[in-house]
Amino acid sequence: RQRVFSGVQPTGTLHLGNYLGAIRNWVKMQDLYDTYFCVVDLHAITMPHEPRDLLEATRKSAALYLASGIDPEKAAIFVQSHVSAHAELAWLLQCYTPIGWLRRMIQFKEKSQKQNAEEVGAGLLTYPVLMAADILLYGTDLVPVGEDQRQHIELARDIAERFNHKFGGSKWKKLGGRGGKIFKIPEAFMPPAGARVMSLSDGTSKMSKSAESDASRINLLDPPDVLANKIKRAKTDAFKGLEYDNPDRPEATNLITIYSLVTGMSTEAAAEEVCDLSWGEFKPRLADAVVAHLEPLQQRYNLIMEDKSYLDEVLAKGAGDAEEAANRTLNNVRQAMGFQPRP
């Protein structure tokens, strides 16, 4: 079976963009592929962090994977820092990744500008190499992510190609290896709709955990009245009726997309249903649909958080399964690079 790997950073709370762009698609994939879903806590320290918040966000994120329908019998659910192969492979890859490739990353440029230049940690620059290590350790074929991760996956492919070329093939064979490619070349998998969910306060910027205003995003754990209120206050325009895909109306396109995804309608059907409604008529309908979709997820989440030992068991089993797969790849890399085998 083909392999699938993906992850979410445990920073802040997960929002509808994380869910519609990524997690919801993982659920569909777990029946068809060998799946690994990771809470990438090592990535969460590339921006200044509070230890207590990290601890809490890591458990919450894992519980939200489960509440979204990821089944620990089908998928390995684990915490990145529990499998030390991630950090180790990241180091090995870093030494062969040109700094220029990393400086070109859009997210690095954006995030480093938000901080005092003196305080930007080296990890913010090397972040995508750790992400490449995550993916390459599992011989991943497909990486289900939102649009904003496309460039990082391109980079993971470039790193893998370069590494295979430099250390794979006959050179590796002479060192006692199997020869051929060390890493499989992964591909990004993006949903046809939902790969870029936009902010409620501005239809031209993406919904994000780090946006200052909480009113700009729909958090998966927002109570129904908060959700309804945020949608009520979402930015509108002065056009009559509602339209999907009019470039002058990004807010309408975004809210219709969300409506279609939470009701299970095609975007065409959703657009047709609401085209004659005013914003004032559409918003309560959207709010009801979002609440109806998230309520069962929130109920499952609350149950999961009540039982501390269940989540611990899931994460322990996930880490064990992941470690086994990851160490196989890591041992190949060590051998191909000429590291002394442990006696």
- The answer to whether residue 197 forms part of the interface with ligand TYM (CB under 6 A) is yes
- What SS3 class is residue 322? helix
- The answer to whether residue 135 forms part of the interface with ligand TYM (CB under 6 A) is yes
Torsion (CA) 132, 133, 136, 142 in degrees, nearest 10:
-50
Considering only 129, 131, 274, 330, the residue that binds ligand TYM (CB under 6 A) is 131
CA gap 222, 19 in Å, rounded: 14
- The answer to whether residue 75 forms part of the interface with ligand TYM (CB under 6 A) is no
User: Over the range 85-124, which residues count as b (16 or more CB within 10 Å of their CB) and which as e?
Assistant: bbebbbebbbeebeeeebeebeebeebbeeeeeeebeeeb
- The answer to whether residue 66 forms part of the interface with ligand TYM (CB under 6 A) is no
Nearest residue relative to ligand TYM (C-beta): 21
Considering only 3, 13, 21, 271, the residue that binds ligand TYM (CB under 6 A) is 21
Please, which residues bridge with residue 76 across strands? 36
Q: Determine the size of the site formed for ligand TYM (CB under 6 A).
A: 26
Considering only 146, 168, 177, 203, the residue that binds ligand TYM (CB under 6 A) is 146
Look up tokens 């041992």; give the residue. 331
Considering only 3, 9, 89, 211, the residue that binds ligand TYM (CB under 6 A) is 9
Name the one range near ligand TYM by CB under 6 A: 15-23, 118-126, 250-258, 289-297: 15-23
**Cβ distance 47 to 111 under 8 Å?**
yes
- The answer to whether residue 22 forms part of the interface with ligand TYM (CB under 6 A) is yes
- The answer to whether residue 148 forms part of the interface with ligand TYM (CB under 6 A) is yes
Catalytic residues: 111, 206, 209
- The answer to whether residue 142 forms part of the interface with ligand TYM (CB under 6 A) is no
Please, which residues bridge with residue 39 across strands? 8, 79
DSSP conformational letter for 147: G
- Rg of the chain over all Cα atoms, to the nearest angstrom: 21
- The answer to whether residue 218 forms part of the interface with ligand TYM (CB under 6 A) is no
- The answer to whether residue 206 forms part of the interface with ligand TYM (CB under 6 A) is yes
CA gap 199, 193 in Å, rounded: 15
Instruction: Give the residues lining the site for ligand TYM (CB under 6 A).
Output: 5-9, 17-18, 21-22, 40, 43, 131, 134-135, 143, 145-146, 148-149, 152, 195-197, 206-208
